[in-house]
Amino acid sequence: KAGVTQTPRYLIKTRGQQVTLSCSPISGHRSVSWYQQTPGQGLQFLFEYFSETQRNKGNFPGRFSGRQFSNSRSEMNVSTLELGDSALYLCASSATGETQYFGPGTRLLVL
Amino acid sequence: GENVEQHPSTLSVQEGDSAVIKCTYSDSASNYFPWYKQELGKRPQLIIDIRSNVGEKKDQRIAVTLNKTAKHFSLHITETQPEDSAVYFCAASLTGYSTLTFGKGTMLLVSP
């Protein structure tokens, strides 16, 4: 099976803009989770979608949002970008809601 | 919520030595504990996991132990090789909930 894919791989944005990241899970996986990875805070959970419904949410401001489509592909959106949003955004897919497999990530730089 | 502490933050060993990374968790309800290896510029890769109904699990040179009473679990790598050099993350979650709480990571450097 093909692994988890994410697009785009790199993004440069300026403060105040918004951005949309995409994740395609492993075929047959219905759960997609998103994580933010920074040198200071490490890997932090953003939210999880299962069958098009947000099932869990981490402690991030409302500027961070997501959705999942009927084919299990997921998008996350960050509005009104801040410098501190610069990070590697990883998505992970799971068949069982337990074992998670990560995509290569989208590296976002906010200037 | 869950909190995972990981030690040490960096670990340097000679090729062939063993390496041990330790994690503690706070939520006694957590019952799934994966370990991920992340090489520079690459995605985290699952290397081994353990569930709370098991005390130890081995996969070739890698083993994980779990002490539910003390709420800590450890990764053991034997006969380390230079290609083991990477950042290792422990995590904890509750079965059925795709919410992994990660430790801060351990940078393992294996010198030839």
What pLDDT shows up at residue A37?
97
Whole-angstrom distance, CA of residue B21 vs CA of residue B103:
11
User: Each residue of A31-81: pLDDT tens digit?
Assistant: 999 999 999 899 999 999 999 999 989 999 999 999 999 999 999 999 999
CB under 8 Å to A90, separation ≥6 — which residues? A6, A34, A35, A36, A37, A43, A102, A103, A105, B43, B44
Residue contact B98–A100, C-beta within 8 A: yes
> Would you say residue A97 has pLDDT above 90?
no
- 52-71 of B, contacting A, C-beta below 8 A: none
Mean pLDDT of B1-7: 94
Count of CB contacts below 8 A, A vs B?
63
Q: Read off the pLDDT band of B52 (50, 70, 90).
A: confident
Q: Residue B52 CB: number of other CB atoms within 10 A? A: 17
My answer on whether omega of the bond before A8 falls inside 30° of 0, hence cis, is yes
Q: How far is A18 from chain B (nearest CA, A)?
A: 24
Phi, psi at B84, each rounded to 5°: -80, -10
- In terms of C-beta density within 10 A (0-12 exposed, 13-18 middle, 19 or more buried), how is residue A61 classed? exposed
**Contact residues on chain A for B34, CB-CB shorter than 8 A:** 99-100
User: Each residue of B94-104: pLDDT tens digit?
Assistant: 876 778 999 99
